Structure 1
Amino acid sequence: MARSFGYGALLRTPGAWTFLLPAFVARMPYAMLGLGTVLLVFDTTHSYTTAGAVAAVASITQVVGAPLTGRLSDRRGQAVVLLPCLTVHAGSVVTLVVLALAGAPIWSLFLAAGLAGASLPQIGAMVRARWLHALDGSPEALSSAFAFESVTDELTFVLGPVLATTLCTTVAPAAGLVAEVVLTVVGGLAFAAQRRTAPPVRLTAGRTGGSALAKPGVRLLVVALLGVGTVFGAMQVSVTAASEAAGQAGLSGLVYGLFAGGSVIAGTAFGAVHWKRSPKFRLLATYTALVVGCSTLWAMPNLFALGVAAFCCGLAIAPTLISAYTLVETLVDTGAKTEAFTWLTGAIGLGLALGSTAAGRLIDSHGAHAGFLVPAVGAGLGLIALLGLRNMLTPAAPAASRQVTGSQRPEPVRA
């Protein structure tokens, strides 16, 4: 059962548009960095292996750097962290472009790409932290806010690659990365300037608190979203391979667009209501639906059937992400929420890299449709972890509720 909560009320939150618009600009490059790197490095080295390896380095270092950025944002403030990140990121991407065009040694490309990935500003996590502050922890409003953010993420991952590919193929091979730098810096600076909507820095007296990853529930969600990431990565590669095998390579974008479109539609609808069921229950239900959807992809006989199956599979993506982000907010202390969001985002990025790599190897050795086994296996393993360790996802009782005397017993915690 659920009741409506409109997006109109959400977007009328005081100050919301002042950080949403620059954040959208600054988030567009997330999906442009990897593809722009592949297109530029391939053009200069004529090796997909090298291009893929350089892009993978950027993805891996982003996974390492993102939680550190989030942790520092919680402790020092978003603007304080954003400005040096923007400086290092812009400098390292420009360096990567110059080195690639100059035919520099491959190891130097790895180094520049590594710095670019590690310093990529974590705008998505910072926006979610701003919603927490702006909405004052209202569960109903936060569900809609996280849905809105998941839909925004989907849009950037649809529009970003199109923009990067168009620029690289019609302007110059380096144009995609140049645009990535411009959008990141312009959007990032505008976002950092909106200090009024930034969450306050909260430090516990005498200590700074532990990492969000110290919470068992956060670690479990990281594993679960690693599985979701494999779905993203494997779908990109497998849909392309299946389209080429069918002699209709130009339809790959349409099929993947149906996958993303299903996610956008479901995310918009899912976040427009306030569910009476707990976030843990919703996560288990939507993740199960995701596994069921992924399990059908490999058996589709043609592109039309694959498009329908991809759309149905996409219907579970955004609701799963919304439930995970809503749940992680209840598992960590106030001063670690941005860091927690970055762990989930980083897990998706790492899963994407692993999924695309595994799917590519299966496709090379067993044919186009073999790549669709990766989403089923990756999501399936994530579901097994969630079901087996689901008790970790129950928020701990507040300290005050655990202070009992005599024969009194604490109130049970509701999942």
Structure 2
Amino acid sequence: MASTVTSGAAKRPGYGRLLRTPGVWAFLLPGFAARQPFAMLTIGIVLLVEHTTGSYGSAGAVAAVTGVSMALAAPWSGRLADRFGQRAVLVPGVLAHTASVSLLTTLALAGAPLWALLAAAVPSGASVPQIGPMVRARWAARLEGSPLTSTAAAFESVTDEFTFVVGPVLATALCTGVHPAAGLVAEASLTLVGGLLFAARKRTQPAHGPHRGAAGRPRASVLSVPGVRVLGAAFLGIGSVFGGMQVSLTAFTEQIGEPGANGLLYGLFAAGNMLAGVAVGAIAWKCGPRRRLMAGYAALTATASLLWAAQTVPLLGALGLVTGVCIAPALIGGYTLVESLVPASARTEALTWLTGAVALGQAAAVTAAGRLADAYGPAAGFLVPLGGTALALVTLVAFRSRLAPPAPGSRTTGRGMGHRVPAAVD
């Protein structure tokens, strides 16, 4: 996540100094393993269910239910972690997720009816551990008041992008090269091992307790902040790109008889996202995150408008790479803004709302793209990222004033949601 613009932006501490912070590797390494499920789960479900049912529509529906369940449960997970501590939420969640994905895999291989797969998808999605927001919250607690805080935000966004390089490629390789269920087996295993190791790092978890706002009143949900609602709507568009690309690339490579190329194509898309994330975090920007957010969505919409016309692997790979590059400024700009709109005590919940919005957009996209691919071919599926990003861009333009931080001392509602005011955000 890129830093906010200040007069000293050019002197911002770098990644090397950040990673030498004592104690951070204790949660970074297990956190990296445990956050893979978010990137592996959808594509693993699509590949397995399509293999057992022969329908991208059915595969997309199961993946969509998983995504919707995650989107609805994620903010509650973040809120509970803020109140009771991350370990108290993670341990039962990790065990439940491993069991749920194992059940879903078994049912798919046994040829169970669609309704049974949809039922098993609900707990599989609802129990996905929210490792990314939890790691961000640990960074914030560790570096409170330090100039390294914004560098840590950028590093986390790069890690997210790298996850979307490794996860889908690994899941695709396992499903196509080992066994159709191997991707989900690996996803469940990483969740179990990485999640329990991350939860065991109790010394680095942030402080927790009852939520309080101004004057000691119980704090309202972060959705009472208008800017958070706008960002949540915008992040649905990012989810539509991830979901639409996963299904449409899979359908495209199946159509041309090269299913193994799916991992390469999605890897190029995710690699563009990661490399752009590194650049966004390293550049001393002269414009604020709100402008970068708007510019990123405009570029993303323009690039997505070309995907449906690509008919060859090299052309689709090149367009996928550019599309990935355009995601990073939008994603990082949004995460930067949300931290300026809510207080530190609500950080985990706010971040999980954005993560949940991505999952919800991804869920809707895999359903829509799957049905379009079944009915009209892979090219039609690529219209989903275009539609999602265009709607998100319109939303941002219409409500851009709500992304500005409030004046010092102001509150969003009368129920106690206070705010921190950062440096320039425009």
TM-score range, shorter chain: 0.7 to 0.9
Compare 52-61 and 142-151 and name the one that shifted more. 142-151
1:60 matched to 2:76: no
Q: Distance in 2 between matches of 1:170 and 1:250?
A: 8
Within 5 Å, give how 1:304-315 maps onto structure 2.
Answer: 304-315=314-325
2:97 aligns to what? 89
- Which position in structure 2 is the counterpart of 1:408? none
Q: AA paired with 2:133?
A: A
Tell me: CA distance 1:42–1:327, structure 2 relative to 1, closer, same or farther (3 Å).
Answer: same
Letter of the aligned partner of 1:117 in structure 2?
G
User: Highest Rg: 1 or 2?
Assistant: 1
**Aligned match of 1:194:** 201
List per-residue Cα deviations over 1:94-139 (Å, max 9, x = no partner): 333444455555444333221121011100110111111122155x
TM-fit CA distance, 1:365: 4.3
* Matched AA of 1:215: V
Match of 1:341 in 2: 351
What is the letter of the counterpart of residue 258 of structure 1?
L
In 1, Cα distance between equivalents of 2:248 and 2:39: 18
Deviation at 1:185, TM superposition (A): 1.5
* C-alpha distance in structure 2 between counterparts of 1:367 and 1:358, whole Å: 12
**2: CA distance, partners of 1:246 / 1:376:** 23
Task: Return the match for 2:84 from 63, 72, 76.
Answer: 76
Contact 2:46–2:59 under 8 Å retained in 1: yes
* Aligned equivalents of 2:411, 2:393: Cα separation in 1: 32
- CA drift of 1:22 comes to 0.2
SS for the counterpart of 2:405 is: coil
Tell me which residue corresponds to 1:115. 123
Cross-structure match for 1:11: 19
Q: CA deviation digits over 1:345-402, x for unaligned, max 9?
A: 1111111222233233344444443333322221111111111111111111232899
Describe the shift of the 1:207–1:257 C-alpha distance in structure 2 as closer, same or farther (beyond 3 A): same
How many Å apart are 1:235 and its aligned residue? 1.9
Find out whether 1:129 has 2:133 as its counterpart. Answer: no
Aligned-partner Cα distance in 2 for 1:372–1:105: 28
Q: 1:373 to 1:338 in 2, by over 3 A?
A: same
Which residue of 1 is the match for residue 297 of structure 2? 287
Q: Provide, for residues 47-81 of structure 1, a one-character-per-residue CA deviation record: whole Å limited to 9, x for no partner.
A: 55444333322111011110100111111111111
Residue 398 (structure 1) aligns with: 408
Are residue 34 (structure 1) and residue 39 (structure 2) matched? no
User: What's the CA shift for 1:46?
Assistant: 5.4
* SS of alignment partner, residue 382 of structure 2: helix
Paired amino acid for 2:70: Q
Q: What does residue 265 of structure 2 align with?
A: 255
Q: Is the 8 A contact 1:144 1:273 kept in 2?
A: no
Aligned length: 406
> CA RMSD, aligned part only?
2.9
Residues 54 and 241 of structure 1: CA distance in aligned 2, closer, same or farther (over 3 Å): closer
**Which deviates further from its counterpart, 88-97 or 167-176?**
167-176
The answer for unaligned runs of 5 or more in structure 1 is 403-410
Whether the aligned pair in 2 keeps the contact of 1:218 and 1:328 (CA below 8 Å) is yes
- Distance (whole Å) between structure 1 residues aligned to residue 119 and residue 48 of structure 2: 16
Aligned-residue offset at 1:30: 2.0
Aligned partner of residue 29 in structure 1, secondary structure = helix
Aligned with residue 366 of structure 2, among 335, 356, 362: 356
Q: Counterparts of 1:34 and 1:90 in 2: how far apart (Å)? A: 15
Shift in alpha-carbon separation, 1:320–1:47, aligned structure 2, 3 A: closer
Q: Which moved more, 1:368-377 or 1:93-102?
A: 93-102
- Normalization by structure 2: what TM-score? 0.85
Give the residue type in structure 1 aligned to 2:401.
N
Of structures 1 and 2, the one with the larger relative CO (CA 8 A, separation 6+) is 2
1:332 partnered with 2:329: no
Query: Would the alpha carbon gap of residues 12 and 44 (structure 1) be closer, same or farther in structure 2, given more than 3 Å must change?
Result: same
Task: Tell me whether 1:384 sits opposite 2:394 in the alignment.
Answer: yes
CA 1:150–1:21 in structure 2 vs 1: closer, same or farther (change >3 Å)? same
Task: Check the 8 A contact 1:298/1:372 in 2, yes or no.
Answer: yes
What is the CA-CA distance between 1:164 and the residue it aligns to?
2.9
The percent of aligned pairs where both chains have the same amino acid is 56
8 Å CA contact retained: 2:161, 2:277: no
Distance 1:279 1:208, change over 3 A: same
Q: Which 5+ residue runs of structure 2 have no aligned equivalent? A: 413-420
Quote the Cα distance in structure 2 between the aligned partners of 1:23 and 1:346.
Answer: 18
Aligned-partner Cα distance in 2 for 1:104–1:153 = 34
Give the C-alpha shift of residue 29 in structure 1: 2.0
1:268-283 matched pairs, under 5 angstroms? 268-283=278-293
Contact 2:65–2:118 (CA<8 Å) still a contact in 1? Answer: yes
Q: Deviations over 1:229-263 (max 9, x none)?
A: 11122222333444455665544433332222211
Out of 134, 142, 153, the position equivalent to 1:146 is 153
CA contact (8 A) 1:37 1:54 kept: yes
Which of 30, 33, 36 aligns to 1:25? It is: 33
| SS of residue paired to 2:148 | helix
Aligned to 2:183: 176
Q: Aligned in 2, Cα 1:274/1:42: closer, same or farther, shift over 3 Å? A: same
TM-score (norm 1): 0.87
